[in-house]
């Protein structure tokens, strides 16, 4: 019969594996210096879960060359024999690191967890116990839930700064009148402030990353001069026409809600009391898709066109509600 301590350890490793999957991560095993029984560990995982628990086996060379990239949500499993590989991978390896040790292993600063005395039998027991409760997993803990705050989501061009199409010159950056007051007021009332902006010029190659950085930092510098700041900035470089490159992430580009969802994952936003300010229909629809409580369409030269697009959308989905703001003073926080 397992001791109380043994049962606790089993539950600990079950939780670690379950939460890895819930967060969208995978188990990552290494080919190099693998013990002779590594295949048996993988076969046990496969027999219990098929592919319900995603896993891969990669080489050190794959990771060092960026042929394969780990994510912060991944769980990297090193067998005791592979412990020396951690130093070689430390600078490029994301994710939590777990050592499967068959004897006591001395934990180092670059190792997060050590599963001591982890035999194939222990591994099989943990997976078997996890399988029994797999269909009803507990909710992930949300440390930010108690202090969840609304967010003021802002588009960039013609909302925070004057629109200069595909701007690559920092000296052309000009803040719009009233944006300082809106941002500072939002912070005083306990809002997060986030920038969510489509930047297809990056995807098209019309703007270099260095040029984009200079423009972006100039905007932040001008805000800082007036005591204003933005808590989180997300941009999408996806382009709709042509054959897109995979790493441009179509799901981020507005009117999709991807950028707002990224902000929510990081800042634990209360969407239903949040506000979005944009100058286009795609801004408003992204906020609507993300569940933002109040949506403001800011007046611009293209106002009539954008309103027409939104009214057309409302014929299909009349639940969409938004307000028109002539100036920032019309936005109620």
Residues marked active site are found at: 155, 157
Kindly write down the DSSP assignment for every residue of 227-241, as one continuous string.
T---SEEEEE---SS
In the Cβ-directed half-sphere of 179, how many Cα atoms lie within 13 Å? 28
Round to whole Å and give the CA distance between 100 and 30.
Answer: 12
Nearest to 312 by CA among 288, 281, 279, 278: 281
Q: Is the peptide bond before 255 cis (omega within 30 degrees of 0)?
A: yes
Round to whole Å and give the CA distance between 46 and 238.
Answer: 36
End-to-end CA distance of the chain: 60
Question: Is residue 292 a contact partner of residue 153, using CB atoms and an 8 Å limit?
Answer: yes
SS3 (DSSP) at 45: helix
217 alpha carbon, distance to own chain's centre = 22
77 C-beta neighbours (distance < 10 Å), count: 24
Round to whole Å and give the CA distance between 96 and 283.
Answer: 36
């Amino acid at each position: 019969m397992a001791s109380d301590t043994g049962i606790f350890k089993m539950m600990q490793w079950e939780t670690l594996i379950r939460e890895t999957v819930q967060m969208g991560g995978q188990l990552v095993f290494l080919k190099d210096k693998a013990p002779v029984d590594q295949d048996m560990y993988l076969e046990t995982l496969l027999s219990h879960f098929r592919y319900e628990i995603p896993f891969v086996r990669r080489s050190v060379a794959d990771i060092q060359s960026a042929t394969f990239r780990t994510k912060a949500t991944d769980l990297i499993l090193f067998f005791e024999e592979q412990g020396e590989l951690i130093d070689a991978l430390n600078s490029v390896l994301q994710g939590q690191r777990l050592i499967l040790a068959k004897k006591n292993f001395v934990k180092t600063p670059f190792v997060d967890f050590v599963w001591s005395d982890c035999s194939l039998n222990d591994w099989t027991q943990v997976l078997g116990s996890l399988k029994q409760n797999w269909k009803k997993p507990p909710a992930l803990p949300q440390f930010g839930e108690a202090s969840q705050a609304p967010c003021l989501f802002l588009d960039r061009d013609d909302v925070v700064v004057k629109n200069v199409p595909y701007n690559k010159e920092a000296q052309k950056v000009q803040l719009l009148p009233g944006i300082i007051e809106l941002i500072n007021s939002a912070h005083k009332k306990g809002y997060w402030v986030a920038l969510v902006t489509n930047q297809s010029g990056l995807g098209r190659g019309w703007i270099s990353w260095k040029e984009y950085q200079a423009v972006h930092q100039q905007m932040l510098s001008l805000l800082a001069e007036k005591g204003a700041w933005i808590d989180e900035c997300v941009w999408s470089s996806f382009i709709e026409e042509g054959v897109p490159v995979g790493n441009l992430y179509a799901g981020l580009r507005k009117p999709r809600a991807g950028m707002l969802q990224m902000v929510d994952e990081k800042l634990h936003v209360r969407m239903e009391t949040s506000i979005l300010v944009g100058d286009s229909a795609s801004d408003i629809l992204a906020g609507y898709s993300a569940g933002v409580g109040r949506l403001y369409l800011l007046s611009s030269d293209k106002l009539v066109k954008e309103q027409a697009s939104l009214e057309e959308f409302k014929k299909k989905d009349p639940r969409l509600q938004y307000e028109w703001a002539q100036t920032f003073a019309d936005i109620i926080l």
